[in-house]
Structure 1
């Protein structure tokens, strides 16, 4: 498939972070399936090609076009063959230069192979894993999946229309709720970050999450989130902000591979009473939040610049279907929680829940949170979940909650930009461009673009206006550290002088 379509808000945010140079490999999503038996390699190769044709976003790259960020459809490379799984995991996936996704087959012996799929989060999400393997297994078996209800570009256009309709209500919802938190209390913590970094991980199993949720009359996600928030509060965080990944899928996008997800903060804390009372109150607040799940926070409030994660602490929960992919004539096992070796913030709790049990993983930045601290968090959370499973209505002050720990402060993310001369008339022209793109009457020379409500799409529009007006290609990085009219004007002046 060829063509292009508007980038989604999630894709715009990831593009901004990639261009800012603070993403690392944090948005790389590996998925491995071990295939045991007499594999038909050519049938698998053709199945991979059919999946790529069915889901054109996998070949999409993000590009600025006249002030708009768009997804340009390109072909996904044919299934390659590799020799070592760990070496192949280091292979690139790039949503700007491409390819954003790739298939690699690794032969372990005559009757055991590993199919490694890698994709950038800009074209793939957690639910996409099941969709991709379901479609892949169907084609391998010679039975094409049912046609999709709508082409991906149509889904993307409708998603953008829903965002425009939902934006005013989301702005009202967040006006009294969002406040940037600069400190975090965790055991073993020396700093706080929302930039990507090489990470470490600790795995554990959550027992009887379904039974706990049923007794509390909440969902499994709500039960584990309530326990996580209660633990963070016990460490000394007055009102913890936990970034959660929320699906934005609709009936139209249900069977599409893509990035149908939005990270939003859940902010709150228990205020006495029982754990059950807190879990149910959290459920009520989540129901209010869900009404705005399609609107990125950076669109609804001002002052949120590029970052790999919305908050220093986050949680993702995915309830998998009860069925696993069936490749005819083969045994198949899937590593659904394959770790990419990076973290997007300070601490992330990942939960994958299916018929085999509830797998949990703490991912953390070891440069900021030491292993002993991470292990204590894992142990404290596991103990709390066991206790509330035994007595969901236990008073909070009788649960095995830890005491407060010292706070650490957020580490700023900065990109250095060289200073240059700033002609006053040029500053005024940039101010006018800012005002036009932000739909404001006036912008001061030292007003920060993000504080004024700017976001990734605003930057692409300003870059396009600068190209038309001044004949220069602004670097995306210039907006990251100091997104003011004065700073941008200095960069324009520098580029014009350089071109002379």
Structure 2
């Protein structure tokens, strides 16, 4: 029988994550970390250490339930909250990390987490044989953040060491802390900034190439930054009296400028705990949107100044709850941030002691994240002098090659900043490799055939293959040529040497061709969210009943995007059916506010 000790209202962050989990379980969740033990260890001791951690940290044994219409945080006993299943995972010595990551990908991702009955942390015991085992700490972001993993690892190690030594384990429970919140005037200032930013922000140019419809989050392989470049940045940081993260943020801002983003909207993760709350595991990481401005030719001092300004913004607004920030802006502001880029740079607390006498323990904290809170998050981890980076990304926005490119370009940006280069070493992309196939639709520019258009995998963008002697490039707002997979205004260079704009928006893909995304100036429209009109119309046209589709911006008191569809006959789908078809491929915030279905044989239907 579950014992509810007491209950209190859930905070705004927990409510938002609980709602996300209920609405779309496929994208809810969090992450995990792992301890691998080499040596004999008693399974009962592992379970007892886990229960002791839960007893000490009240938020980790809490569930969220609706009571009289209000979401309540209900606290369970440690025994009732502890989930500790056991599984065999045989593997060779030294391959435990890879084996555990493969196991988690199969068993932890896409699993619905019922936050009304399950505490936000689960323990999984995986036995490898030969006195080797791993404990997987799987955590949900409704009650657990990246800061908390180190606290849990520290306490788990201490309790396990005591149990192995025969010492009594009697942890004192720590109640859920009251997270510090910004004063009202600071919160209103933050909301005013966010409203202005949403009204003026344009979509950020980042590597594209994902497959529509697959909204799951995956992680790229981890890469190492150049050690000499990182050492130089650390030395420069000391000279300029800034943090190393300030230098890495400056490099990221430079990289975004190379992509054509002179003004970019970033989301920075920030720890909001203080001396009274920092020792309690729970939910104390906030997301703060910041706007940065820079140019491709910025000096190292200018780049660092832009990063410092962004971090001063972070410091001022870090305790304004992100859910309150979003709630204070009309429309769907989260749709703006959800398509952008986040940066995470957590650091273990000073003096972290994870030693367990008699056991060699390997902790793996830098593990893939399964949360889709942000569409792309650049995860930066430093264990000086090493510095590693990984990208967590939504697969409908980019694929593995594009994620690898973003990381490679970041590595280059770090090296360029360390070398004080004002010109980026990232190479602009040129599509000039024709193939011998003759099928497809002729693509004509300047009176000659410039390429062949192939729509091989709708609803994804059609592919344009250059003709012999023809080259395509994509260009940013200021006319600069862009790297591979970065969308911009397309230009074509014909065999006679002429170069002219095509009027299309697209990017040079990894296969050497071009992906066409729509008209140069009509791809995106802004209502209460950003709508990719090309993606919506492409998907609408794949429906068997649809003959033509167009997204229009209705000029009224509030701007509303309307998808106008012309059909092939009288057997039209209902609006509900058609919206469900679109949602199969698109996130809900990408859909126009209204759908009109028009056909000569039927009256107009709206929904």
Pairing of 1:303-342 with structure 2 (within 5 A): 303-304=331-332, 310-321=338-349, 323-340=352-369
Deviation at 1:371, TM superposition (A): 3.0
Counterpart in the other structure of 2:276: 252
For the residue of structure 2 that corresponds to 1:38, the secondary structure is coil
Pairing of 1:249-398 with structure 2 (within 5 A): 249-271=273-295, 272-295=297-320, 296=322, 297-304=325-332, 310-321=338-349, 323-340=352-369, 343-355=372-384, 357-391=386-420, 394=421, 396-397=422-423
CA distance in 2, matches of 1:447, 1:65: 37
Quickly say closer, same or farther: Cα 1:239–1:64, change in 2 above 3 A: farther
1:406 is the counterpart of 2:487: yes
Counterpart in the other structure of 1:24: 26
CA contact (8 A) 1:35 1:330 kept: yes
Deviation at 1:311, TM superposition (A): 4.2
Q: Find the partner of 2:15 among 12, 15, 25.
A: 12
CA distance in 1, matches of 2:28, 2:235: 33
For the residue of structure 2 that corresponds to 1:265, the secondary structure is strand
Q: 1:220-264: CA deviations, max 9, x gaps? A: 222222211221121122311111211111111101111111112
For the residue of structure 2 that corresponds to 1:184, the secondary structure is coil
1:136 is the counterpart of 2:148: no
Quickly say closer, same or farther: Cα 1:389–1:171, change in 2 above 3 A: same
Counterpart in the other structure of 2:246: 222
CA distance in 2, matches of 1:258, 1:180: 35
Deviation at 1:301, TM superposition (A): 2.6
More strand as a share of residues: 2
Report which stretch shifted further, 12-21 or 44-53: 12-21
CA contact (8 A) 2:220 2:391 kept: yes
CA distance in 2, matches of 1:290, 1:379: 29
CA contact (8 A) 1:244 1:263 kept: yes
CA distance in 2, matches of 1:79, 1:29: 17
Quickly say closer, same or farther: Cα 1:386–1:356, change in 2 above 3 A: closer
Counterpart in the other structure of 2:460: none
Deviation at 1:71, TM superposition (A): 1.5
CA RMSD of aligned residues (A): 3.5
CA contact (8 A) 2:17 2:28 kept: no
CA distance in 1, matches of 2:28, 2:171: 33
Counterpart in the other structure of 1:102: 122
CA contact (8 A) 2:342 2:376 kept: yes
Gaps of 5+ in 2: 90-99, 429-480, 489-516, 518-523, 525-529, 537-556, 560-587, 591-607
CA distance in 2, matches of 1:388, 1:401: 16
Deviation at 1:198, TM superposition (A): 3.9
Deviation at 1:83, TM superposition (A): 2.1
Deviation at 1:191, TM superposition (A): 8.1
Counterpart in the other structure of 1:439: none
CA contact (8 A) 1:94 1:120 kept: no
> What is the TM-score when the length of structure 1 is the normalising length?
0.72
CA contact (8 A) 1:132 1:257 kept: yes
CA distance in 2, matches of 1:277, 1:47: 50
> What is the TM-score when the length of structure 2 is the normalising length?
0.60
Gaps of 5+ in 1: 415-445, 449-479, 483-500
More helix as a share of residues: 1
Deviation at 1:324, TM superposition (A): 4.8
Counterpart in the other structure of 1:453: none
CA distance in 2, matches of 1:212, 1:192: 42
Counterpart in the other structure of 1:204: 223
Counterpart in the other structure of 2:257: 233
Between the two structures, name the one with larger relative contact order (CA 8 Å, sep ≥ 6). 1
Report which stretch shifted further, 223-232 or 369-378: 369-378
CA distance in 2, matches of 1:373, 1:115: 33
1:40 is the counterpart of 2:42: yes
For the residue of structure 2 that corresponds to 1:141, the secondary structure is helix
CA contact (8 A) 2:37 2:362 kept: yes
Quickly say closer, same or farther: Cα 1:41–1:293, change in 2 above 3 A: same
Deviation at 1:447, TM superposition (A): 9.2
Report which stretch shifted further, 238-247 or 341-350: 341-350
Pairing of 1:41-80 with structure 2 (within 5 A): 41-74=43-76, 75-80=80-85
CA distance in 1, matches of 2:251, 2:308: 12
Q: How many residues align?
A: 412
For the residue of structure 1 that corresponds to 2:46, the secondary structure is helix
CA distance in 1, matches of 2:123, 2:200: 40
Q: Find the partner of 2:136 among 104, 108, 116.
A: 116
Report which stretch shifted further, 314-323 or 40-49: 314-323
For the residue of structure 2 that corresponds to 1:187, the secondary structure is coil
Q: 1:278-327: CA deviations, max 9, x gaps? A: 21232134213322212213144332366696442211111223545112
1:184 is the counterpart of 2:204: yes
